[in-house]
Amino acid sequence: MSLPGFESGIIIDEQQIQKHIITIPIGSEWRIEIPFKSFFKFKVISGIAEINGTELPNNTELQLSGTKLAIYSPKTSQIGYFLVDNKDSIYDNGDNEFSEYLSNETNMSSIINLSMFIESRRQLNKSGPRILIVGGKFSGKSSLAKILSSYSLKLNNSPILVNLNPRDGVFSLPGSLTATPISDSFDIEAFNGYGLTTTTGTSRQNPKQPIVKNYGFTNYKDNLDLYKYQVSRLAVSVLSRLENDPSVNKSGIIIDTPPINNLKNKDDVSLIETIITDFQIDIVVVIGNEKLTLDLKNKFKHKKDSINIIKINKSQGCVELSDRFIRMAQEQSIKEYFHGTYKNRLSPFKIDIDLEGLKLYKFVLTKDFLSTMSFLPAGDEETENTNNEENILDKYYQILEDPSSSNLENSLITITHLEATNNSPGKDLLDTSVLGFVHISKVDDEKKKIKVLLPFPGVFPKNNYLISTNIGYSE
């Protein structure tokens, strides 16, 4: 197996980097699209430049791949760069080339204003502002969340960044919901621009320590009940952390969400209501969507004294991503979970274990669940409300029957913190959080053995409940 970006020993040629030099004028953005098949190597020669609020070091070589982003110059900067091929051919599909352009039409002034307003709220109140970012698809929610987090950090805060968009893995894998105190800069070279969590050794950048909740799908609509349940559980942990941690409490929360365009759909309305109530939101930032802003203002009229609803213009630099691009990005973040970044390699651990005796569950797609329910005679839905714990679990997780190569091979398994007992786990399985993920690369149906990739060299925690995700991955 070869890993992209792991060809160490590439010494950046000083002359190569001088080949292309671009000057980014003050207040402008240099928007670049880097295909997966290339490595974009660059360094800031002079001035100040930043990516999503994270300031870049001067005269240090950096590398990016498979991403579309903007380098912003708060003070005119000069950047030298060149591209090299990613020799790993699996991404060589030629569907896009490196592209770049400069623009001085940014929404950065508004974002700086917003950051300063947020800071003023921190000074006013003992507990910091709880900010919810909403907006449509590809409107720059995650970028805004990163910039707000980074600027908060620069102003001596460490806010909790909460990711509720299961499409992205934020300090975790896609399919999970996380909350992470941002106590140090993001690692812009890491995939998706977040960075590593704690490792057994020392990393070049200080790691982060997230709490990770199970969701198992990349679309929040796949099982909205489970999604909302986990959002609420995450909120409980986050609010408890705030109570225990004055510095985080002072800094507040910044929440990134899945795309929502308007409040026509009652599911979306109830989702926003859940988030606002559970996290005790006091600032809602809507990106570039007048309709959604108005809808929210109407919806939360009764709370207009306790919730500020702020509209912020969408950046001109937002680009649509193809499903293919998103899928590749997800694969990259899975790879990074096990193998680390090119500057911080991680060593995962492969072992063979018995399939027998594993406590395997699977995530339930709501539409599948409803179709099984429809076979029940009318009126039986009532029984759903009985206190039978097994039934309560049914619409979220179900026992994985007949684990075999067909339903396990090349998939990711969530290991929960919950240890198995003889009884059914019931609600405890819903309330637990994620210990980690393992990848099943091979299932030997005859010998009932599986080959597992563990992030960490140790014993496979086979006494813990496992949940098979719907996220496939092959090395």
Partner 1 sequence: MSNDLIRQYETKLNQLTFNSRPIIDELTIVAKDNPIIADQIVDLIKNRIYKAVPDQKLFILYLLDSICKTVGNPYNIFIADEVYDLYTHVFQFLNDTLRNKMVNLLNTWKEMKTISNDPLFPEEELAKIEEFIKKAGYPKNIIPEAQQLLINDITQIIPIFENKIKTNPTPKLQERYTALGQLKTMLSNQVITPAELAAVQNHLHNIKQQELRNSNTPTPAATPAPTPAQVTQPPIQVQVAQVVEPQRQASLPPKPQSRPQTNSGPPSLPPVPQIPKINIAIGLFNDLLLSGLVKKDQEPIPGSKPTYSLVFPETKYSPMSNNEEVSISQLEDILLASSGVARSEYEKLKFGEILTISKKTKTNDQLQQFINSNKPSSSMINLLYEDKPKKCPTCGKRFTDDTDGLTKHRLHFDWHFRINKKISTKGGNIQSRNWYLDDYDWVHFKDENLLEFSTTETIMATPEVEMNVTQPGSQYVVVPPNDTNMINRCVICREQVKATYNDEVGEWCWLDCIRVPGEPKNSRKIVHISCFNESNKKRSAETELNTNVKREKL
Binding residues for ATP: 29, 68, 138-143
With CB under 8 A as the contact rule, which of the stretches 85-93, 265-273, 274-282, 459-467 interacts with partner 1? Answer: 459-467
- Residue ranges in 342-401 that form contacts with partner 1 under rule CB under 8 A: 344-349
3-state secondary structure of 17: helix
Strand 434-444 relative to strand 449-454, pairing: antiparallel
Candidates 87, 117, 137, 424; binder of partner 1 (CB under 8 A) is 117
Alpha-carbon distance of 422 to 430, in angstroms, equals 17
In the complex, what is the shortest distance from the CB of residue 418 to partner 1, in angstroms, rounded to a whole number? 9
Candidates 3, 12, 112, 392; binder of partner 1 (CB under 8 A) is 112
Candidates 39, 52, 83, 119; binder of partner 1 (CB under 8 A) is 119
Q: For partner 1, give the closer residue by CB, 303 or 367.
A: 303
- Residue ranges in 156-195 that form contacts with partner 1 under rule CB under 8 A: 156, 158, 172, 181, 183-185
Q: Is 248 exposed, middle or buried (0-12, 13-18, 19+ CB in 10 A)?
A: buried
Candidates 23, 76, 103, 237; binder of partner 1 (CB under 8 A) is 237
Strand 434-444 relative to strand 464-472, pairing: unpaired
C-alpha of 344 from chain center: 19
In the complex, what is the shortest distance from the CB of residue 168 to partner 1, in angstroms, rounded to a whole number? 17
- Residue ranges in 204-233 that form contacts with partner 1 under rule CB under 8 A: 204-212
Lookup: tokens for 37:
């098949």
String of b and e for 359-394 (b: at least 16 CB within 10 Å)? bbbbbbebeebeeeeeeeeeeeeeeeeeeebeeebb
With CB under 8 A as the contact rule, which of the stretches 259-267, 272-280, 357-365, 455-463 interacts with partner 1? Answer: 455-463
Q: For partner 1, give the closer residue by CB, 116 or 399.
A: 116
Q: For partner 1, give the closer residue by CB, 405 or 461.
A: 461
Helices (H), 63-181: 108-124, 141-154
Candidates 267, 270, 458, 474; binder of partner 1 (CB under 8 A) is 458
Alpha-carbon distance of 193 to 67, in angstroms, equals 9
Q: For partner 1, give the closer residue by CB, 369 or 456.
A: 456
Query: Among 447, 449, 445, 452, which residue's Cα sits nearest to residue 411?
Result: 452
Helices (H), 300-342: 323-339
Candidates 18, 89, 104, 198; binder of partner 1 (CB under 8 A) is 198
In the complex, what is the shortest distance from the CB of residue 9 to partner 1, in angstroms, rounded to a whole number? 13
Regarding 55 and contact with partner 1 (CB under 8 A), the answer is yes
In the complex, what is the shortest distance from the CB of residue 299 to partner 1, in angstroms, rounded to a whole number? 15
Residues in binding contact with partner 1, number by CB under 8 A: 88
Candidates 139, 433, 468, 470; binder of partner 1 (CB under 8 A) is 433
C-alpha of 398 from chain center: 25
Candidates 93, 120, 270, 388; binder of partner 1 (CB under 8 A) is 120
Q: For partner 1, give the closer residue by CB, 66 or 181.
A: 181
Placement of tokens 């950065």 in the chain: 108
With CB under 8 A as the contact rule, which of the stretches 77-85, 112-120, 137-145, 327-335 interacts with partner 1? Answer: 112-120
Q: For partner 1, give the closer residue by CB, 154 or 327.
A: 154
Strand 38-51 relative to strand 54-55, pairing: antiparallel
User: How many CA atoms does the CB half-sphere of 54 hold within 13 Å?
Assistant: 20
- Residue ranges in 272-331 that form contacts with partner 1 under rule CB under 8 A: 304, 308-313
- CA 9 vs CA 13, 336, 343, 371: distances in Å: 12, 20, 12, 56
The length of the chain, given as a count of residues: 475
Cβ neighbours of residue 116 under 8 Å, at least 6 residues apart?
A: none
Side chain identity at 266, as an amino acid letter? K
With CB under 8 A as the contact rule, which of the stretches 92-100, 201-209, 270-278, 381-389 interacts with partner 1? Answer: 201-209
Lookup: tokens for 267:
């599911």
In the complex, what is the shortest distance from the CB of residue 361 to partner 1, in angstroms, rounded to a whole number? 17
